[in-house]
Amino acid sequence: MELTGSQIVIECLKEQGVDTVFGYPGGTILNIYDELYKHSNEIRHILTSHEQGAAHAADGYARATGKVGVCFATSGPGSTNLVTGIATAYMDSVPMVAITANVAVNLLGRDTFQEVDIAGITMPITKHNFIVKDITKLADTIRKAFKIAKSGRPGPVLVDITKDVTAAKTSYKKVTPEVIQRKTDEITEEDIKQAIEMIERSKKPFIFVGGGAVISEAHDELKEFVDKVDAPVTDTLMGKGAFDGTDERYTGMLGMHGTKASNLGVTECDLLITIGARFSDRVTGNVKKFAKNAKIIQIDVDPAEINKNIITRCSVVGDIKEVLRLLNQRLGQQNHKEWLEHIHDLKQKFPLKYNKEVLTGPFVLEKLYEVTGGDAIITTEVGQHQMWAAQFFKYNLPRTFITSGGLGTMGYGLGACIGAKVGMPDKTVINIAGDGCFRMNMNEIATATRYNIPIIEIIFNNHVLGMVRQWQTLFYEQRYSYTNLNDKVDFVKLAEAMGAKAYRITKKEEVESVLKEAIALKEPVVIECIIDSDDKVWPMVAPGAAIEEVFTEEDIKK
């Protein structure tokens, strides 16, 4: 049958099983929006308050569901407003397809109104991108975009379509998407054998889990592997929930704000088994001193990550679920009772601490865990509150902690929270924010209220840019250069003006009742928690230091 380009876009989305699109209309994309209007009973469209919010919502939807997130934007500023969201998804390997429209082919390159080379702009921050100038190539391009976005190491793909293509007609035939196979072609017998031999020789193994284990849905295989290796487990921000955070072998996060048990344990171990982690600088600290006593095994789907930041002794390239399945079949039961007892002693000796006498971020997060029983999806912005959410809320399932790890995008969490809730409507979804981050994209509260998406936004308001101020306190002799936010903005009135229910908490005793009420309301809620501007995230590793040099407030006082 013969269809317009706009009709083909919608039919291809239906082919791919897309049920939700986040976006913002404009001149060049009007034809597509007109067609979307006719299919509103099949594809839900969420009109965000800003295109950046649409990109973050598509990202949060993808991370929560495991499906490809989709966002729309018009040309020029509409498409450039997606850039931060696309870069965020790229750094954290999130499957997303961004569909933008551009000016007609005969107007390209003429500085036409709202013309921009969005394909050129996003080339370094997409897994792949396309500009479609020929109607006959449109359907296959969209299909390729979805395949690329979700195969191997996932990532965002941009499809830019000129306006004349959205109006032109060509023949269309429905195609059933091919099943994406897990990547196994680079897994070799030699690599598997070497990994098993190294594990069997190890006396003090440590397992280090990253976001790749979440993406590959390797939760069950990872649990079996940990049991067989009989080793302690640490993780990255992106790896949270891949291994049960309530398990006795779990030692907490690794790195700059990792636990002492994890940082000291990894420094002491003789074998570090790294699963789906890319050795970010925030994890390794001084790379020359990282895991200095250990041989390293790295398991990753992307060969480009092998030996990129840390030199390994053994690597296995392939889908993590499949690699772990092969290792579990071949590996005999190991026993490291004394090593585990030593790590347990470190956990007992160096627990996470905070001031329990006053209202703090950690107290709110522990109370939130208690009230929800851990059955919630937590999204975050970036900063101190993000670290506290990683430290003090326990994650026992994958896709329940959604945060900007690689790019560190302030303003990410609220859009992601909306996307996660739309994708997982039966889950309690809560965004943890600081006051600085909330200011970035707080207009998305209006999106939540427009559609009555019952998210909960918790703002830790310390009236400063908390993490930046923490660095200024510790490393810049308390020169607080432009980090004070102590102005007259009233977040409660602001939230209420956008149609949300709002609370302000100033003392510990109010937390539990407000959280319970907010969850029961089933409507958008904003909770402002007033905390001290000098509260800090502990432990900490100074930039450039070895992770074993991790210190706490007590260490500074000593």
Residues annotated catalytic, as ranges: 51, 113-114, 163, 467
Q: Which of 52-69 are b and which e, b meaning 16 or more Cβ less than 10 Å from the residue's Cβ?
A: bbbbbbbbbbbbbbbbbb
Q: How far apart are CA 421 and CA 134, in angstroms?
A: 37
Q: How far apart are CA 222 and CA 318, in angstroms?
A: 15
Q: Which residues pair with 529 in a beta bridge?
A: 460, 505
Two tokens, residue 93: 């390997």
Two tokens, residue 330: 């071949």
Contact 147, 178 (CB under 8 A): yes
Number of Cβ within 10 Å of residue 429's Cβ equals: 26
**Chain position carrying tokens 């407030």:** 553
Burial of 272 (0-12, 13-18, 19+ CB in 10 A): buried
Pairing of strands 169-171, 2-4: antiparallel
Rounded to 5 degrees, φ, ψ at 431 are -100, 130
Rounded to 5 degrees, φ, ψ at 101 are -115, 150
> What angle is formed at CA 425 by the lines to CA 424 and CA 429, rounded to 5 degrees?
75
Two tokens, residue 71: 């966002």
Q: How far apart are CA 265 and CA 275, in angstroms?
A: 17
Cis before residue 539, ω within 30 degrees of 0? Answer: yes
Two tokens, residue 5: 């380009």
CB within 8 A of 453, min separation 6: which ones? 418, 421, 422, 447, 524
**Chain position carrying tokens 């269309």:** 172
Q: Which residues pair with 530 in a beta bridge?
A: 461
Helix (H, G, I), strand (E, B) or coil at 302: coil
Question: How many CA within 13 A on the CB side of residue 182?
Answer: 17
How many residues does the structure list for the chain? 558
